Amino acid sequence: MKRLSVIFTTLCLVGTLMAQIQGIIVNSDGDLISGVLVNGESKCSKGNPNRYTTGYDGYFCLRYDGGKEMKLKISGENVEAAEYKIAAADSALFHVVCVKSKVPVEKDNYKFGSASGVRKDIRYRTLESGARMSSDDAVALTAVADYKAAGEHSVKLLPEAEPDVAAPSMASAANNVRAGMLTAGEVNDFAKWHLWNSIMTQSHATYAKIWELYPRERHTLHLTNRSGSPLFDAQVLLLGQKGDTLWQARTDNTGKAELWADFNSADGKKGTNADKVVVSYQGLEQVIPASGDLHISMDVECPANRAVDVMFLVDATGSMGDEIRYMQAELDNVVERVQGIDSSLNIRTGAVFYRDHGDDYLCRISTLNSEVSVTREFMKKQRASGGGDYEEAVGEALMAAVNSSDWSREAVARIAFLVLDAPPHNDSVNVALIQKQLRAAAAQGIRLVPVVCSGMQEEGEYLFRAMALATNGTSLFLTDDSRIGDTHLKPTTDKLEVEMLNDMMVRVISEFSAVPDCQIEQWAQDNLEQSSTDQFVPNPFETQDLEDYHVPEVPEILTAAQVMSLRPNPCQGQFQVVIMSDVENLFLVDLTGKTLMNLGAHNAGDMVDINVRGFSTGIYFVKAFRAGKWYTQKEIVK
């Protein structure tokens, strides 16, 4: 019995080293079908998810876990379910799966095969649904031949093609991949701080222990000059009572620095030891107690530096095969557009593509460069392959990006997007590596923005949201709305506003690099006259957060102007909120949704004075919650 177990284990191990199972989904007319879920199961899978949802090119790619055969289970809203069995010897072949469509396919859907018609000299092997397939039935292909349907619910293996036959479907469909196809939602845990605390201590408490990351004891510093302009890229230290450094960060484009007293402490005892905050900027140093309002004003000029560094870290292992071609199109579009965000910014871009230990390479780096074409060409050349297990070399990629990318010594923003579908290995060595690189990134002012792709599990969700918090970043999650790629994790949050991924990434870069002009009066007037920019500023909570909350059956329909007014606007030092209709909650938030003040409930006729002395020049929002609905007004602080 022990010998049989060893043989089975060996077969599974060998299987994971073999090629992935790839193919396309078509109907009897040769139309490439999107939105089809392909599930792969084998005795070696051991419950590990192995799924892929086809995109516009009909392509699927599954992990081959080993064993004698792999079951392919086909399902989808617009196709009839079917099941196929593929022998181990055929895992390297390219599979064309013909399904029966429940609804007509749109006329402009992409076709598989050339326009010249079906080749008569190519032999096709057709197997019925549920049948086994052996290696004697077909030979490995080097290119995809033309296709002719030979019956519904059949799998076809295309034989080796002659030189004049069309290129593989994946390549020919690449022309159909374009930017603006992937969808995503943003989770900014700074904006919903109470919800994050609940996640960390309750639903995801197990994962907090795995990664030993506990972002909870938070200290936020605000740094401005005497005129109120935000002072960005200042070094900030949070010191303990013994003079030890608990956390090191740099102020962001709004003049804020996020500091953590007990980031790796499970019991939270270090939080009580936070003693002083030390700020260093342009040769000046100021020390204040680490309690109360952390506002510092320095007698310096408005900063003139406008450097912005944007780095993309991309998982290039085989599990990313379902989305990497689409992601490359999105990233190419983002890089192309960043130069148009603000003509006064000096933007550099770079990229790190990474795999895992044992693959062809661990990391490939294109260092930060002011010529965006260099980054674009580098990204276009990369392909997804390798991997084999769930976890990848995230820590090594982060180390390469943080330490080997020539970040600007002075910058408005340093941003690193982490595009991935799996966490690092969670052994003690990798956990320590991640913790070290997080501290290094925060110390350099590198704001991490995870872009979570299909296949991610809750363990990884917690890690990447904690990484974003550690470095004053935010988290982006791809969604199923695009119907591209495998099933996407729904992040644990109250509400997810979906937008196009490329637009979202450009928006994040814009938000993280926006600074008011040194000519404050003109800047304030220009921004006051612009229409409200709060579309993607998250609300502090949603009604589903409130237990036993009942929205009125016929809520009174009001405008924001009927609920409250702000005066003066723009303001300097202080402004007043005039409440014209009862509100249950009132908040002051910044441009990214960070809650700056919780002002509680107020009745009609109340006048609420808000002191913004020490706040940097910028755009702020007052959000009022009334009868299950949020109302927002913009305030310009100068």
Average pLDDT over residues 116-124: 29
Phi, psi of 373 (to 5 degrees): -60, -30
Does position 106 have pLDDT exceeding 90, yes or no? Answer: no
DSSP of 73-103, one letter per residue?
EEE-TTB--EEEEEEGGGTTSEEEEE--BSS
For residue 349, what pLDDT is reported?
93
**What proportion of the chain, given as a percentage, has pLDDT over 90?**
40
CA dist 241 and 94 (Å) reads 64
Domain-embedded: residue 425: yes
Domain-embedded: residue 183: no
508 in Cβ contact with 476 (< 8 Å)? yes
Number of domains in the chain: 4
Least confident segment among 180-194, 461-475, 514-528, 615-629: 514-528
Domain co-membership, 486 together with 553 = no
Average pLDDT over residues 269-292: 86
Q: pLDDT, tens digit, for every residue of 285-344? A: 999 999 877 999 999 988 888 899 999 999 998 888 777 888 889 999 998 898 788 888
CA dist 375 and 345 (Å) reads 18
Q: pLDDT, tens digit, for every residue of 45-77? A: 655 667 777 765 577 778 777 777 888 888 887
Higher pLDDT, 631 or 141: 631
Does position 78 have pLDDT exceeding 50, yes or no? Answer: yes
Quick one: pLDDT band at residue 14, thresholds 50, 70, 90?
A: very low
Domain co-membership, 358 together with 444 = yes
For residue 207, what pLDDT is reported?
94
Domain-embedded: residue 185: no
Closest residue by Cα to residue 454 from 280, 319, 622, 332: 319
Domain-embedded: residue 201: no
Domain co-membership, 73 together with 143 = yes
For residue 534, what pLDDT is reported?
65
Residue at a domain's end among 513, 548, 576: 513
Quick one: pLDDT band at residue 29, thresholds 50, 70, 90?
A: low
Higher pLDDT, 423 or 405: 423
Residue at a domain's end among 513, 539, 567: 513
Residue 520, C-beta contacts closer than 8 angstroms, at least 6 positions apart = 227, 228, 229, 617, 638
For 170, the enclosing helix (H) or strand (E) is: helix 169-172
Domain co-membership, 233 together with 375 = no
CA dist 253 and 255 (Å) reads 6
For residue 187, what pLDDT is reported?
94
Domain co-membership, 485 together with 545 = no
Q: In Å, what is the CA distance from 355 to each residue of 362, 383, 461?
A: 5, 11, 19
Q: pLDDT, tens digit, for every residue of 347-364? A: 999 999 998 888 888 899
Domain-embedded: residue 23: yes
Does position 119 have pLDDT exceeding 60, yes or no? Answer: no
For 5, the enclosing helix (H) or strand (E) is: helix 2-16
For residue 113, what pLDDT is reported?
39
Domain-embedded: residue 339: yes
For residue 30, what pLDDT is reported?
66
69 in Cβ contact with 186 (< 8 Å)? no
Quick one: pLDDT band at residue 92, thresholds 50, 70, 90?
A: low
Does position 137 have pLDDT exceeding 50, yes or no? Answer: no
Quick one: pLDDT band at residue 138, thresholds 50, 70, 90?
A: very low
329 in Cβ contact with 500 (< 8 Å)? no
For residue 257, what pLDDT is reported?
96
Does position 173 have pLDDT exceeding 60, yes or no? Answer: no
Question: Is the Cα torsion angle 314, 317, 319, 325 positive or negative in sign?
Answer: positive
Domain co-membership, 367 together with 467 = yes
Domain co-membership, 346 together with 442 = yes
Does position 562 have pLDDT exceeding 70, yes or no? Answer: yes
* Domain of residue 359, residue span: 321-513
Domain-embedded: residue 220: yes
Does position 221 have pLDDT exceeding 70, yes or no? Answer: yes
Domain co-membership, 116 together with 159 = yes
Phi, psi of 482 (to 5 degrees): -75, -20
Quick one: pLDDT band at residue 155, thresholds 50, 70, 90?
A: very low
For residue 104, what pLDDT is reported?
62
Q: What is the CATH number of the domain that holds 224?
A: 2.60.40.1120
> What angle, rounded to 10 degrees, do the helices at 372-380 and 324-338 form?
170
Question: Is the Cα torsion angle 167, 168, 171, 175 positive or negative in sign?
Answer: positive
Bond into 570 cis (ω within 30): yes
Q: In Å, what is the CA distance from 545 to each residue of 193, 475, 492, 538, 540?
A: 13, 20, 12, 14, 10
Residue at a domain's end among 513, 545, 565: 513
CA dist 76 and 61 (Å) reads 16
Give strand pairing partners of 345: none
Domain co-membership, 435 together with 465 = yes
Quick one: pLDDT band at residue 515, thresholds 50, 70, 90?
A: confident
Phi, psi of 164 (to 5 degrees): -85, 5
Q: What is the CATH number of the domain that holds 633?
A: 2.60.40
Average pLDDT over residues 206-212: 94
3-state SS class at 257: strand
Domain-embedded: residue 305: no
Query: Torsion-angle region of residue 411: left (phi > 0), alpha (psi -120 to 50) or beta?
Result: beta
DSSP H helices, 110-192, are: 169-172
Domain co-membership, 501 together with 629 = no
For 196, the enclosing helix (H) or strand (E) is: helix 193-198
259 in Cβ contact with 213 (< 8 Å)? no
Q: Which DSSP letter does residue 207 get?
A: H
For residue 541, what pLDDT is reported?
79
Domain co-membership, 267 together with 337 = no
CA dist 602 and 564 (Å) reads 11
Summary mean pLDDT of the chain? 78
541 in Cβ contact with 494 (< 8 Å)? yes
Closest residue by Cα to residue 218 from 493, 470, 596, 474: 470
Encoded amino acid at 491, one letter? P
Tokens 């804020």, residue?
256
Does position 220 have pLDDT exceeding 60, yes or no? Answer: yes
Encoded amino acid at 633, one letter? Q
Domain co-membership, 366 together with 435 = yes
Least confident segment among 119-128, 224-233, 390-399: 119-128
473 in Cβ contact with 467 (< 8 Å)? yes
